[in-house]
Amino acid sequence: MSQSLPRINTQFLPFVLQGHDRALTAVRYNSDGDLLFSSSKDKFPAVWYSETGEMLGTYGPHFGTVWSIDVSWDSQYVVTACSDAYARLFETTTGKYVAKCPHKGPVRSCAWADSGLRFVTASDPFSGTKSREWGAVNIYDFPQPDALFECEFQALGS
């Protein structure tokens, strides 16, 4: 005997966020739930008001697919993971490009720690050989805001 899920609420109305030209790769809310962040294959990660679906702006430059996006717990910074072998940091509200983190291959994922003092990235190696190389997980200490100036971050232990 099969069971069906109960119908709880069919009154939901979706927002259609129109602004990306290619497929979405990730969607995230900030901790307050008032902002929605999206990344896609079109190189333009975006931020939206979650109540209205209005686009506030995009973060860039990126030179390839943006696979992942995450916002710090206090909504001050955004980190992106891009196929051009860089993770990038931006100020959330101004969109100011703060820093880049070089990798040895496409960066597939990124996430902030709950403390906001660290973030993590996962990347694949560029490989033209037949042997399979291992991917990498990098953990970054986030510096004090007065030390940020479009610098390149180095992963812990490197």
Q: Is 3 among the domain residues?
A: no
CATH of the domain at 96: 2.130.10.10
Give me the pLDDT at residue 19, please: 83
Give me the pLDDT at residue 3, please: 74
Q: Is 16 among the domain residues?
A: no
Q: Is 45 among the domain residues?
A: yes
- If the chain, 158 residues long, is cut into consecutive pieces of 10 residues, what is the mean pLDDT of each piece? 68 74 92 95 94 92 96 95 95 92 93 92 76 82 65 52
Q: Is 17 among the domain residues?
A: no
Distance CA(118)–CA(23), nearest Å, equals 29
Q: Is 10 among the domain residues?
A: no
Give me the pLDDT at residue 154, please: 53
Q: What residues make up the domain containing 144?
A: 24-152
Give me the pLDDT at residue 152, please: 55
DSSP H/E element including 66: strand 66-71
Q: Is 48 among the domain residues?
A: yes
In the chain, the number of structural domains is 1
Q: Is 15 among the domain residues?
A: no
Q: Is 135 among the domain residues?
A: yes
Contact 103, 96 (CB under 8 A): no
- Residues 6+ positions from 28 with CB-CB distance below 8 Å: 36, 37, 38, 69, 70, 71
Give me the pLDDT at residue 146, please: 61
145 SS3 class: helix
Distance CA(83)–CA(50), nearest Å, equals 27
**Residue 38 corresponds to which tokens in the numbers above?**
């999206």
Please state whether the predicted TM-score (pTM) of the whole model is above 0.85: no
Give the CA distances from residue 135 to residues 62, 94, 121, 138, in Å, rounded to whole numbers and listed in that order.
21, 33, 11, 10
Give me the pLDDT at residue 156, please: 52
Give me the pLDDT at residue 40, please: 94
Look at residues 19, 17, 37, 16 and name the one whose alpha carbon lies nearest to residue 28.
37
Give me the pLDDT at residue 21, please: 84
